[in-house]
């Protein structure tokens, strides 16, 4: 499988995108499928060339999601030829799927059929007539679990990102789908309808669609989707963000009962908190290969943070949304940097990475923060809007599309932020009106001075003439 992966995707670069939304992910999927199709067609052509060179009178064709053999054969039992001949061209379906394993099987079957034709020993048996000795009983969820990874990566390039996505699917499959029932539309639907949370059900629909696509079962689950009800989400204000940080610092520094491991963990959380606040990073971007040496480098004049290319939307260099907070939150504290560097470098596999990323959220709960890690990212999106930063620049800084950026700050733009936005707008408007009034006054004063100056000049001339 690894060899096949290299053959298919060795020259494929996964498209980089700053769009982490469905549209952005769909673009990556479409490009991957396009590349897979191109490689598949190239391999199919090469196989047919090999068949031709070996004088085998059989060719392979991809028809309706399967691979079929085409050859001129004796007439089928009960069949006739329009011109009365005893041979005819047929397409033979042997139930071979249209994938790279299927191409290998198809080539083997083509050579076998070619030998029968050359020796004139071909007969229409059950195999070539498409008659199965026993009805196919299908595959169970437990059987599918064993081949899930192999099948999934037949059409996808293995990257940190794709392996991470698969890990989530496989974990969910093992927990909710694994049983001895045969996979069918009915059995998949039974699992999905047990889930009553809209977002989680959508995840199950996605996984069920992947399973059915792999097994070439034509099903749609759109009718099972539940309407997502937007939950209230309180995005913390700048004051609350700073106050929470200061209280946490006091808590950690005044707790004599902490052992070294707990104390180091708290210092690491302080730095992670600061990075989330200042750069609006995704939690994973802090743990997955962060360039912490660059963060404290003397060459880093603007205190930017470099996100590694293996993250959700690829590489980007992030400018601090509030530059003065870099010092306020003690971001470049060397001891804290070293603790995070050790923590993020000691990652053995994706499961370990996932665990450490999830631990950030657990720490927010453990230390009674009133918000979630992602709320700090949303706060940056809102703050950028209030700061007047151009939408494109803010979106690029956060690593998502303009559409996603607009959606985020519109969705979580709370009442307090609206008051602030209106107040600033009114203040700016009042300032403009005030300046306009001052300009009018200055113009009037200027006109008055010009008049007085003219009068003085005329008076001086009159005195000279006298």
Structure tokens given for 230: 């937007």
Match 């096949």 to its residue by tokens: 4
Q: How far is CA 332 from the centre of its chain?
A: 29
pLDDT digits (tens, 9 = 90+) for 67-89: 999 999 999 888 888 888 888 99
Say whether 372 is catalytic.
Answer: no
Burial 185-205 (b: 16+ CB within 10 A, else e): eebbbebbeebeeeeebbebb
DSSP, residue by residue, 297-322: -TT-TT--EEEPTTSTT--EEEPPSS
End-to-end CA distance of the chain: 114
Considering the candidates 35, 157, 201, 312, report the single residue annotated as catalytic: 312
Considering the candidates 201, 316, 400, 405, report the single residue annotated as catalytic: 400
pLDDT at 17: 59
Q: Which residues have a Cβ under 8 Å from the Cβ of 429 and sit 6 or more positions away?
A: none
Say whether 377 is catalytic.
Answer: yes
Three-state SS for 67?
strand
Contact 100, 153 (CB under 8 A): no
pLDDT digits (tens, 9 = 90+) for 52-71: 999 999 999 998 778 999 99
Output the pTM of the full model.
Answer: 0.64
Contact 157, 6 (CB under 8 A): no
Considering the candidates 270, 377, 378, 383, report the single residue annotated as catalytic: 377
d(CA 427, CA 388): 14
Burial of residue 259, with CB atoms counted within 10 A of its CB: 0-12 exposed, 13-18 middle, 19 or more buried: exposed
Residue 190: closest CA among 198, 179, 228, 217: 179
Say whether 443 is catalytic.
Answer: no
pLDDT digits (tens, 9 = 90+) for 213-236: 888 888 889 999 998 777 777 788
Contact 58, 114 (CB under 8 A): yes
pLDDT at 134: 40
CA–CA–CA angle 61, 67, 72 (5° rounding): 55
Q: How far is CA 196 from the centre of its chain?
A: 25
pLDDT at 156: 83
Range among 232-246, 332-346, 408-422, 423-437 with highest mean pLDDT value: 332-346
Residues recorded for the chain = 466
Considering the candidates 35, 282, 378, 383, report the single residue annotated as catalytic: 282
Confidence band, pLDDT 50/70/90 cuts, at residue 136: very low
Residue 290: closest CA among 299, 279, 302: 279
Confidence band, pLDDT 50/70/90 cuts, at residue 99: confident
d(CA 44, CA 50): 10
pLDDT digits (tens, 9 = 90+) for 288-318: 999 999 999 999 999 999 999 888 888 999 9
The order of strands in the sheet holding 87-97 is 59-63, 66-74, 87-97
d(CA 137, CA 129): 20
Burial 366-383 (b: 16+ CB within 10 A, else e): eeebebbbbbbbbbbbbb
pLDDT digits (tens, 9 = 90+) for 202-214: 999 999 999 998 8
Least confident of 208-217, 276-285, 434-443: 434-443
Say whether 50 is catalytic.
Answer: no
Q: Which residues have a Cβ under 8 Å from the Cβ of 69 and sit 6 or more positions away?
A: 58, 59, 60, 61, 91, 92, 94, 106, 109, 110, 113
Say whether 418 is catalytic.
Answer: no
Confidence band, pLDDT 50/70/90 cuts, at residue 133: very low
Helices (H) and strands (E) in the chain, counts: 19, 5
Residue 14: closest CA among 25, 1, 4: 25
Q: What average pLDDT does range 111-123 have in this prediction?
A: 93
pLDDT at residue 418 is higher than 80: no
């Amino acid at each position: 499988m690894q060899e096949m992966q290299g053959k298919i995707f060795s020259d494929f670069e996964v498209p980089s995108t700053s769009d982490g939304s469905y549209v952005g992910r769909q673009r990556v999927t479409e490009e991957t499928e396009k590349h897979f199709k191109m490689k598949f067609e190239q391999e199919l052509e090469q196989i047919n060339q090999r068949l031709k060179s070996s004088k085998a009178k059989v060719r392979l064709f991809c028809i309706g999601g399967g691979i079929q053999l085409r050859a001129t054969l004796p007439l089928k039992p009960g069949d006739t030829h329009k011109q009365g001949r005893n041979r005819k061209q047929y397409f033979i379906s042997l139930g071979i799927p249209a994938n790279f394993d299927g191409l290998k099987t198809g080539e083997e079957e083509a050579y076998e059929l070619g030998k029968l034709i050359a020796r004139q020993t071909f007969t229409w048996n059950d195999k070539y007539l498409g008659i199965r000795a026993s009805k196919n009983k299908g595959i169970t969820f437990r059987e599918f679990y064993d081949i899930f990874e192999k099948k999934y990566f037949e059409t996808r390039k293995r990257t940190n990102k794709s392996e991470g996505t698969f890990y989530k699917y496989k974990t969910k499959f093992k927990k909710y789908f694994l049983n001895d029932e045969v996979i069918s539309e009915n059995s998949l639907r039974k699992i999905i309808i047990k889930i009553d949370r809209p977002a989680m059900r959508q995840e199950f629909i996605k996984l069920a669609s992947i399973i059915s696509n792999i097994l070439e079962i034509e099903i749609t689950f759109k009718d099972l989707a539940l309407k997502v009800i937007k939950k209230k989400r309180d995005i913390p204000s700048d004051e609350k963000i700073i106050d929470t940080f200061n209280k946490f610092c006091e808590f950690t520094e005044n707790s004599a009962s902490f052992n070294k491991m707990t104390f180091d963990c708290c210092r690491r959380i302080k730095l992670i908190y600061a990075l989330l606040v200042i750069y609006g990073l995704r939690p994973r971007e802090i743990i997955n290969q962060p360039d912490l040496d660059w963060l404290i480098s003397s060459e880093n004049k603007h205190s930017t943070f470099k996100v590694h290319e293996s993250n959700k939307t690829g590489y980007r260099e992030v400018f601090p949304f509030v530059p003065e907070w870099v010092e306020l939150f003690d971001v470049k504290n060397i001891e804290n940097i070293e603790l995070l560097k050790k923590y993020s470098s000691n990652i053995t596999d994706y499961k370990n990475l996932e665990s450490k990323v999830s631990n950030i959220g657990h720490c927010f709960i453990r230390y009674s923060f009133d918000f979630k890690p992602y709320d700090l990212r949303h706060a940056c999106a809102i703050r950028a809007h209030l700061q007047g930063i151009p939408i494109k620049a803010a979106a690029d800084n956060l690593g998502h599309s303009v559409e996603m950026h607009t959606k985020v700050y519109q969705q979580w733009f709370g009442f307090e932020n609206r008051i602030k936005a209106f107040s600033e707008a009114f203040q700016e408007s009042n300032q403009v009106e005030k300046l306009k009034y001052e300009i009018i006054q200055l113009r009037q004063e200027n006109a008055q001075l010009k008049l007085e100056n003219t009068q003085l000049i005329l008076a001086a001339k009159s005195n000279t003439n006298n």
